[in-house]
Amino acid sequence: MVAIPPRNGYCCEIIIVMPEAFTKARSLDSLEAEIHEIGEEIFQRAEDAAPPLLSRERWQQMAMEWMTTDEDLKGRLFRFIESLPRLGSDAEVAGRLKELVHRDNGHAPLPAALQLALAYKRNDSLYASIVAGLVRWGCGQSARQFICGQTPEEAIDFVLRLRRAGMAFTLDLLGETVHSAEIARGHVETYLRLIEALSRSAKNWPVIPLIDEAPWGAIPRVNISTKLTALAASIDHLPPAAAAAAMMPPLREILRAARSAGAFINVDMEHYAIKDVTLDVFKQVLAEAEFRDWPDVGIVLQAYLRDTPQDMGELAEWSRERGTPITVRLVKGAYWDSEMATARSAGLPPPVWTEKWQSDACFEESARIMLDSADVLRPAIGSHNVRSIAAVLAYSRSIGLPPRTVELQMLTGMGDPLKRALAGMRERVRVYSPFGDLVKGMAYLIRRLIENTSNDSFLRQSFSADASRTELLAKPGQR
């Protein structure tokens, strides 16, 4: 509403009512030029930061590109990798490999290297054993691309390398949805040891203002992410009240240790069935007197869910009532296939958007809600999508937020040139760094491989000769 005061002696005023949705849409449209300008800079810097031809990073990238040229083969290989932890002997590995990967004459021929690998006649032959050993090694190397180590000591070495490269970290223990109280307790103990070991080590780390300071002050150098289903057994099989009661004690224990050590704790979001109970547990525990005034804690929202804008608004309202800011990490979401399958089997409408552009649009809408409440929601943007990142940075600047109010988060092993580009732009970049047993990490590995190699993957398209920068930076739904 705009009021024009009386003029020329007239004793009235003219009121012009402008619908909020119209003015906001016009304002957002005016940002497109800046979004494209920021995006072009990111792309150019990322191209300049591409790995050398003979580097391990470039060979891994080439292997991914090779894998994606044949969608049928990719699916077969992924099913094999997913089954690998359940296989014991070399003969079992060789048999499963041939069963899943071999194609009959009705399909396109396999690449020559795979045909040679599958040339054994018997699964228990010496040749088959050699192939099985090479396959295990290769899968292990793929896992190590996305996983920062198997022990806390390896994880600490990894995060120190990140810091030397001007990037922050968040460490996450591999494993989710456990069905044993003993295993769940082991996860809690591992987190407690990790907090203690990292905090002790961090005392000797030099301060790096780019990643250790924000407009509101110092940021904890130790940052840990945890999944609630890894802290209590059989959560999926419990009613919401019972699941919440099981999650709260171990979460309090981890939060207590982190607050004492000066560390940050982020609660990850998982599949849709436990979204609401995860949010409820987070809000209940953080509203308790012991934690109510503690800001070094955060939670994740997933933009591929239809109700994320509403959840973001409710989190802002709750945080304002609590009186202490929290961090929200906004991501696209990594469980799309399983969410769609679950909804179909139950005969229910899916909770996720069914088109990639819809998730991208929801991401931008949810990010704007978060940025509009930056006094109580400290924004963390988890994305490798240059359009999404540029849109968030442009909107942040348009509403006058100080530089590095927004933290940009990316995954280990994915989009390293983008990370280097954004760090070079003096943005605060944090790398999500899972660690732990590689066998337990196979489900995580498959999700990352799918993200890296999907036809809709922004990483796959971003440096493709088939897609122009203008196309990649277009508004969601207009490509």
Q: What is the pLDDT of residue 16?
A: 35
> CA separation (Å) from 38 to 231, 361, 390?
41, 18, 6
Q: What is the pLDDT of residue 425?
A: 97
Q: What is the pLDDT of residue 2?
A: 34
Classify domain 148-472 by CATH architecture: Alpha-Beta Barrel (3.20)
Decide if pLDDT at 11 tops 80: no
DSSP-assigned states of every residue in 188-235: HHHHHHHHHHHHHHHTTSPP-HHHHEETTEE--S-EEEE-GGGTSTTG
Query: What does the pLDDT look like over 393-408, one tens digit per residue?
Result: 999 999 999 999 999 9
Q: Which residues contact 302 (CB under 8 A, 6 or more apart)?
A: 269, 308, 331, 332, 333
Residue 359: name the closest of 380, 331, 401, 317 by CA: 331
Domains of the chain, by residue range, sit at 71-143, 148-472
The most confident of 12-21, 37-46, 233-242, by mean pLDDT? 37-46
* Average pLDDT for 240-267: 97
Residue 426: name the closest of 167, 178, 199 by CA: 167
* Average pLDDT for 308-322: 98
Q: Per mean pLDDT, which range of 16-30, 129-143, 236-250 is the poorest?
A: 16-30
Q: What is the pLDDT of residue 328?
A: 98
According to DSSP, residue 173 is labeled E
Q: Are 174 and 444 in contact (CB under 8 A)?
A: yes
Taking the alpha carbons of 215, 221, 222, 226 in that order, is the dihedral positive or negative?
A: positive
Taking the alpha carbons of 249, 250, 255, 258 in that order, is the dihedral positive or negative?
A: positive
The better pLDDT of the pair 18, 27 is held by 27
